[in-house]
């Protein structure tokens, strides 16, 4: 019997109330299933990150550099000087607790250190001890503690249990954004080479090859080619997109997950079909072949380095503006950071839809338009021939991705599109959508395999709301506009709400899109028969039989 | 029949006490949150546990249909299987029902000469406990299955392509022969 497992007759007498200890006295215990593998030496080396070595989080020895405490404290000091928000967030929390029960990880796990306020305290306590007079003087009474190896391990465990989703900040009266504190925490950990390989691997790939998966140009092209074959067999139309074409009007950038991972690939087929139907003058790039940016989950500087290729490629190709696919954190980066990091993109023009003439004034500085805005505008102007009945077998709900909702306020466009391409749409409860949306539980680079237990905890509140509309209205499809969602929510549904599929919005669009010159469609993009088709075929067969007989 | 009446009359008290002892397995702040937050979407864990308990309790009165009981057990165990519990801790809540029933109605039942029925009730709870272990195992196995499936989804296109290449090679070989 496993250690600590009680005998049957002990079970009903057992007292398993957890010890009522203060959080500072509860040392961290790394539980398998809750954390990711450590970043590999070669992936840290690839981008020149410090302390590159292979290490295992479960080991006692994390192979830290000498004087690591000093490195971290200096790191805090530098960041306090550099980011006013960091200093502010460390100082102004009044511990009112409004954020405490708003984090999906806390709601799902019940672990107090997943309360946003306590997650911040992990770092704040060290800040007090080493950087404030009161903390130095009063120590623990003032909520201060020294930086020790246990503290460092606790940081690592819990800053990689925060998806930087910012839900807590919506409820904080001071607008304290735990996501930013987590970012700082992760930056500090990076100074010691303490990232996770699920993040560091893609960063290294992206730095070397331009995308997280490390796909080379011919692989990207042949993979899209593969989708084109599928599209041809479904619609009878052969699409011929261009790659790295100079002088195109628009550069299209999307997360590389759309190129390989199902069901994202169907969304990608959706883009291809839509652009073909519009006759859009656009090009793919095999260099700026990644919209996502896992660098964002390491350091500000790394994110900037990886992001730079988008403008560089736009400049090289001489396009007028950039259109971006369905992604979450890519848009947080584009919307909130790209312009200050790598702008001004004054060599580009203010984006104008060539089809409707609409000026995308919101993208005046970044010159990059979200595809949901682009498509919603097309529908609004009646530019698409749509047959929503092709999606009649679906009862759809929409998951707002943390980054597009809280990071840039995209709420209406995807809903507007879905309602125009599907006949059955149902909202999840009000406190689980829009700016209060619950995270998928796998954001900010935590969508690995080895931390599945963590992901299922974090995704519980989201799944719970889906379950509700599934049981109440028969919802069987969860739409979203994020590549990580498409992969992560599929898994989440599999555990919590079997029977609900996951789709990108542009997959729904493409299924409803009646293209010029297409043959009669009998299946959707997944190769499943369209509603009504099977019956028609049955009837056809019966008729023939009757005639024959 | 008698037993059912007595238990039904105590339904609220038994459920409340059962919920309380289940919540003791969480840290105090969390237990308080799980108990008091009534919005099912803000507090899915508390809500799911309570709803499952109600279902199990009513099922117990009727005689435990494995299929129906499994649904309620599953809802609770699915949650506890991914929280910080050992396997025994995760399913302990079923055994705790025995303790709660004993405390709430044990004496009354014995006074009414219903000891035998109480024994029967306890054996039904044992049956639930066995089901609970099976469900727990299934949930844990599911986690491993999800990992494998994700890997497959991520590489599916690559594999398909590899197969395609293979098919073509095969065809070429065939046409050459
Ligand atoms: S940012 Fe999101 S994951 Fe992080 S503490 Fe806040 S609510 Fe939790
Ligand atoms: S809501 Fe804001 S002020 Fe209140 S505890 Fe949370 S972070 Fe601190």
pLDDT recorded at residue B63: 82
pLDDT at B1 over 80: no
Question: Across residues B135-159, what is the average pLDDT?
Answer: 86
B161/A17 touch (CB, cutoff 8 Å), yes or no: no
Tokens of A32: 């398998």
**Nearest Cα to Cα of residue A429 among A461, A460, A477:** A461
Q: Give me the pLDDT at residue A531, please.
A: 87
CB A466 within 8 A of CB A475: yes
Rounded CA-CA distance A418/A395 in Å is: 11
Return the domain boundaries, chain B: 3-143
Pocket test for ligand 1, best of A179, A455, A488 (most atoms within 8 A of CB): A179
Coil vs helix vs strand at A359 = strand
Is B119's Cβ below 8 Å from some Cβ in A?
Answer: no
Q: Where does the pLDDT of residue B66 fall: very low under 50, low under 70, confident under 90, or very high at 90 and above?
A: confident
Tell whether A255 lies on the interface with B, counting CB pairs under 8 A.
no
B42–chain A Cβ distance below 8 A for any pair: yes
A121 alpha carbon, closest ligand: 2
Residue A103 Cβ contacting ligand 2 at under 6 Å: no
CB contact under 8 A, A5 and B86: yes
pLDDT score at B101: 94
Residue to probe by mutation, ligand 2, list A99, A100, A115, most atoms within 8 Å of CB = A99
Phi then psi dihedrals of residue A502, to 5 deg = -130, 140
From A346's Cα to the closest Cα of chain B, the distance in A is 38
Can you read off the two tokens belonging to residue A375?
């498509």
- Partner-chain contact A449 B150, CB within 8 Å: yes
Chain A interface mutation, best of B33, B150, B161, B164, highest count of A Cβ atoms under 10 Å: B150
Alpha carbon of A52 to ligand 1 centroid (Å):
29
What's the half-sphere exposure (Cβ side, CA atoms, 13 Å) at A171?
19
A514 lines ligand 2 (CB under 6 A): no
Q: Is B122 on the interface with A (CB under 8 A)?
A: no
Tokens of A277: 């139907």
- Each residue's pLDDT tens digit, B109-124: 889 888 898 999 999 9
ipTM of the complex: 0.91
User: Using CA atoms, how far apart are residues A367 and A474, in angstroms rounded to an integer?
Assistant: 40
pLDDT of residue B170: 47
Give contacts of B 78-97 with A, CB under 8 A. Answer: 78-79, 82-84, 86-89, 92, 95-96
* A32 in contact with B, Cβ within 8 Å: no
Q: Which atom of ligand 2 is nearest to the CA of A89?
A: 7
Cβ of A111 within 8 Å of Cβ of B27? The answer is yes
| B 133-152: CB under 8 A from A | 142-144, 146-147, 149-151
Is the separation of the CB atoms in A235 and A521 below 8 Å? Answer: yes
A433 — phi, psi (to 5°)?
A: -130, 180
Is some CB atom of chain B closer than 8 A to the CB atom of A23? no
Distance CA A81, CA A79 (A): 5
B35 pLDDT higher than 90: yes
Q: Does the pTM exceed 0.90?
A: yes
Q: Which residue of A has its CA nearest to B48?
A: A464
The CA radius of gyration of chain A, in Å to the nearest whole number, is: 25
Model confidence at B103: pLDDT above 70? yes
Closest B-chain CA to A4: B86
Q: List the one residue out of A418, A413, A372, A412 whose CA is nearest residue A397.
A: A418
- Closest CA–CA distance from residue B55 to any residue of chain A (Å): 17
Neighbours of A401 (CB within 10 A): 29
Mean pLDDT value across residues B168-174: 46
In the numeric block, the tokens 């010029």 are attached to: A516
Residues of chain A short of pLDDT 50, as ranges, are 1-6, 8-14, 16, 548-549
- Give per-residue pLDDT as tens, A231-273: 999 999 999 999 999 999 999 999 999 998 889 999 999 999 9
Residue B145: count other Cβ atoms within 10 Å of its Cβ: 15
Whether A103 is in the pocket of ligand 1, judged by its Cβ within 6 Å, is yes
Residue A500's nearest CA partner among A399, A403, A386 is A399
Expressed in angstroms and rounded, the spacing between residue B42 Cα and the centre of ligand 1 is 15
Greater confidence (A541 vs B146) lies with B146
């Amino acid at each position: 019997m496993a250690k600590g497992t009680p005998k049957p007759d002990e079970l009903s007498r057992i007292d398993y109330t957890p010890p009522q200890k203060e959080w500072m006295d509860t040392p961290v215990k790394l539980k398998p299933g809750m954390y990711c593998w450590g970043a590999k030496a070669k992936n840290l080396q690839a981008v020149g990150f410090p302390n590159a070595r292979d290490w295992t989080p479960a080991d006692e020895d994390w192979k830290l550099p000498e004087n690591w405490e000093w490195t971290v404290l200096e790191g805090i000091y530098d960041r306090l000087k550099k980011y006013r928000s960091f200093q502010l967030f460390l100082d102004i929390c009044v511990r009112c607790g409004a954020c405490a029960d708003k984090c999906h990880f806390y709601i799902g796990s019940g672990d107090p250190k997943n309360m946003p306020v306590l997650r911040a305290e992990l770092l704040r306590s060290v800040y007090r001890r080493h950087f404030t007079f009161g903390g130095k003087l009063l120590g623990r009474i003032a909520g201060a503690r020294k930086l020790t190896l246990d503290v460092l391990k606790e940081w690592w465990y819990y800053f990689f249990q925060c998806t930087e989703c910012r839900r807590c900040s919506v409820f904080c009266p001071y607008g304290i954004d735990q996501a930013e504190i987590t970012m700082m925490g992760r930056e500090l950990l990076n100074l010691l080479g303490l990232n996770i390989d699920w993040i560091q691997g893609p960063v290294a790939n992206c730095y070397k090859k331009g995308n997280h998966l490390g796909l080379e140009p011919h692989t990207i092209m042949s993979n899209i080619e593969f989708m084109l074959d599928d599209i041809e067999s479904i619609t009878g139309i052969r699409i011929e997109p261009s790659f790295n074409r100079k002088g195109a009007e628009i550069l299209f950038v999307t997360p590389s997950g759309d190129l390989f991972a199902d069901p994202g690939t169907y969304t990608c087929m959706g883009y291809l079909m839509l652009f073909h139907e519009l006759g859009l003058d656009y090009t793919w790039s095999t260099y700026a072949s990644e919209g996502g940016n896992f660098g964002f989950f390491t350091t500000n500087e790394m994110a900037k380095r990886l992001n730079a290729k988008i403008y560089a490629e736009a400049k090289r190709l001489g396009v007028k503006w950039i259109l971006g696919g369905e992604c979450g954190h890519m848009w947080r980066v584009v919307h909130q950071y790209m312009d200050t990091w790598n702008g001004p993109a004054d060599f580009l023009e203010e984006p104008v839809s060539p089809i409707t003439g609409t000026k995308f004034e919101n993208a005046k500085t970044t010159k990059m338009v979200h595809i949901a805005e682009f498509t919603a505008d097309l529908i609004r102007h009646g530019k698409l021939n749509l047959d929503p009945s092709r999606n009649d077998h679906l009862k759809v709900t929409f998951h707002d991705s943390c980054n597009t909702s809280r990071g840039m306020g995209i709420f209406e466009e995807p809903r507007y599109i879905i309602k125009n391409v599907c006949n059955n749409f149902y909202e999840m409860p009000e406190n689980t959508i829009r700016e209060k949306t619950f995270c998928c539980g796998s954001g900010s680079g935590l969508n690995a395999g080895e931390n599945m237990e963590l992901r299922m905890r974090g995704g519980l509140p989201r799944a719970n709301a889906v379950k509700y509309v599934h049981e109440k209205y028969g919802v069987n499809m969860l739409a979203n506009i994020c590549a990580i969602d498409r992969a992560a929510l599929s898994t989440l549904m599999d555990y919590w709400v079997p029977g609900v599929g996951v789709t990108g919005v542009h997959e729904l669009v493409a299924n409803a899109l009646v293209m010029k010159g297409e043959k009669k469609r009998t299946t959707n993009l997944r190769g499943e028969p369209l509603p009504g088709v099977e019956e028609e075929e049955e009837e056809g067969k019966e008729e023939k039989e009757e005639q024959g007989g | 029949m008698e037993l059912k009446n007595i238990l039904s009359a105590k339904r609220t008290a038994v459920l409340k006490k059962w919920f309380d002892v289940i919540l003791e397995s969480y840290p105090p702040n969390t237990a308080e949150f799980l108990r008091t937050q009534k919005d099912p979407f803000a507090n899915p864990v508390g809500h799911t546990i309570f709803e499952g308990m109600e279902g199990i309790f009513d099922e117990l009165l009727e005689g435990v249909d494995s299929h129906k009981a499994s649904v309620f057990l599953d809802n609770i165990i699915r949650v506890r299987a991914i929280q910080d519990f050992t396997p025994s801790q995760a399913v302990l809540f079923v055994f705790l029902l025995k303790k709660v029933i004993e405390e709430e109605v044990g004496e009354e039942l014995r006074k009414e000469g219903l000891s035998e029925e109480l024994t029967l009730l306890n054996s039904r709870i044992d049956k639930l406990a066995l089901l609970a272990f099976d469900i727990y195992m299934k949930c844990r196995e599911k986690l491993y299955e999800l990992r494998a499936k994700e890997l497959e989804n991520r590489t599916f296109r690559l594999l398909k392509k590899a197969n395609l290449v293979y098919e073509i090679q095969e065809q070429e070989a065939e046409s050459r022969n």
